[in-house]
Amino acid sequence: MEGESCTYRPNSTPDSPDSVRITLGTPRDNHRSTNNTVSGQSRRGSRGGVRRRFLLFERASGSWWDPKFDSRHLEEELQRCQLPATRRQFRYALCYIATACLVWIIYFAAVGATNQQANYQNWPAFVGGSVVFLVICMVLLGLTFTKLYQRFFSYMSLLLTVALFSVSLAAVGFSEGSIISSVGAFMICVEILIMLYTVIPMPLYLSVVSGIMYSVGFQIIVGVTNEVLGQELSLPVQIITKILMHLCIHLVGIHIYIMTQVRKHSTFWKVGQSILARRDLENEKQLKEKMIHSIMPPHVASSLMKGAEDEPETPKRMRSPRNKKKANLPPKESMFRTFNMHRMENVSILFADIVGFTQMSNNKSAEQLVSLLNDLFGRFDRLAEKTGCEKISTLGDCYYCVAGCPKARPDHAECCIEMGLGMITAIK
pLDDT tens for each residue of 115-160 = 766 566 677 888 888 899 999 999 999 999 998 998 898 899 999 9
| First-to-last C-alpha distance (Å) of the chain | 68
Question: Does pLDDT of 20 surpass 50?
Answer: no
Q: What percent of the chain has pLDDT over 70?
A: 75
Each residue's pLDDT tens digit, 382-401: 998 888 888 888 888 888 88
pLDDT band at 207 (very low <50, low <70, confident <90, very high): very high
pLDDT of residue 311: 56
Q: Which of 139, 420, 404, 190 is nearest to 297 (CA)?
A: 404
Find the range with the poorest average confidence among 28-42, 247-261, 344-358.
28-42
Mean pLDDT of 269-281: 91
Structure confidence at residue 344 (pLDDT): 78
Q: How many angstroms separate the Cα of 276 from the Cα of each of 65, 75, 269, 270, 287?
A: 30, 17, 11, 10, 16
Strand order in the sheet with 390-395: 348-353, 398-403, 390-395
Chain segment 85-111, per-residue pLDDT in tens: 999 999 999 999 999 999 989 888 887
Between CA 46 and CA 350 the distance in angstroms is 78
Task: In whole angstroms, give the CA distance from residue 218 to residue 214.
Answer: 6
This model's pTM is above 0.85: no
Average pLDDT over residues 278-306: 81
Look at residue 7 and give its three-state secondary structure. Answer: strand
The Cα 351–Cα 340 span in angstroms is: 25
Query: Which among 268, 266, 263, 277 is positioned nearest to 77, based on CA atoms?
Result: 268
Closest CA to 110 of 133, 127, 129: 127
